[in-house]
Structure 1
């Protein structure tokens, strides 16, 4: 009798905890634009790879020169656009130079997949871009796509 009473108390306590979980569920993790990126990849017949961070990239030409590290300064020609193909920024073919540590995480990681002369596409979820905040013509939460050519590792 004593043990069945303790078992009854334990069951009641567990059911109270279950009700608490239903009333205050753990929030779901923030969406990382995965569905939008995968749709874009499928619609455009891209052979993209996914990194552990959630960055997708397409190496069209790997290049033959030096390969940058996160601490490198590079010169990159690029075109940036959204999944609806609306361009928000673009360099000329000479590109722009910058330290990889001073750009969005998607670029810092993505440019390292190429060697000098390499080109391809970076598909960057918002958490590796500008996150939930708008930045100039880029609305918060946007997937960013860049056609890039790594002109040089300086």
Structure 2
């Protein structure tokens, strides 16, 4: 009888701890859209830059037009780039030699921004958090961060 009672208590404890209806509440991710938009527009004004803006909130500047074809979401792109934080300019990633990626595997900011580039062209993407890493901290990138990418599109195929 003792063994049956222990088994029932163990089962009850297991079920109550693994229930999806537990008292643990995970807050939804914070929406940084308005805050990021202000950060980007303030940065552009302070640095006397004029950028284009997409409906999704991505800002971009084409600094060198290029003459080749434009990538699509299915393209493999070969690029050099520098990624930094808008708030303090801290570089979190940089590739000075050509690196190839499938565009559809990159953050939404790149997926939306790179099709504005032509092969041989370069530019800057101002990526708000919702098109980057959202409210999640990834490596040295704090959640909610606006990312700046200086990119040269070398080739697309």
State the TM-score, normalized to the length of structure 2. Answer: 0.77
d(CA) in 2 for partners of 1:149 and 1:110?
Answer: 12
Partner of 2:123: 120
Partner of 2:139: 136
Q: How many residues align?
A: 125
Partner of 1:31: 32
d(CA) in 1 for partners of 2:147 and 2:98?
Answer: 18
| Aligned residue among 83, 106, 109 for 1:106 | 109
Give the ranges of 4+ consecutive aligned residues of structure 1 lying more than 2 Å apart after TM superposition: none
**Which secondary structure does the structure 2 equivalent of 1:39 belong to?**
helix
d(CA) in 1 for partners of 2:98 and 2:43?
Answer: 26
**Which secondary structure does the structure 2 equivalent of 1:95 belong to?**
strand
| Aligned residue among 77, 92, 109 for 1:74 | 77
Q: CA deviation at 1:149?
A: 0.3
Q: CA deviation at 1:105?
A: 0.2
Q: CA deviation at 1:45?
A: 1.2
Partner of 1:90: 94
**Which secondary structure does the structure 2 equivalent of 1:117 belong to?**
coil
**Which secondary structure does the structure 2 equivalent of 1:147 belong to?**
strand
Greater shift after overlay, 78-87 or 50-59? 78-87
Gaps (5+ residues) in structure 1? 1-28
d(CA) in 2 for partners of 1:90 and 1:44?
Answer: 22
| Aligned residue among 48, 52, 55 for 1:52 | 55
State the TM-score, normalized to the length of structure 1. Answer: 0.78
Q: CA deviation at 1:30?
A: 2.6
**Which secondary structure does the structure 2 equivalent of 1:53 belong to?**
coil
Q: CA deviation at 1:31?
A: 3.2
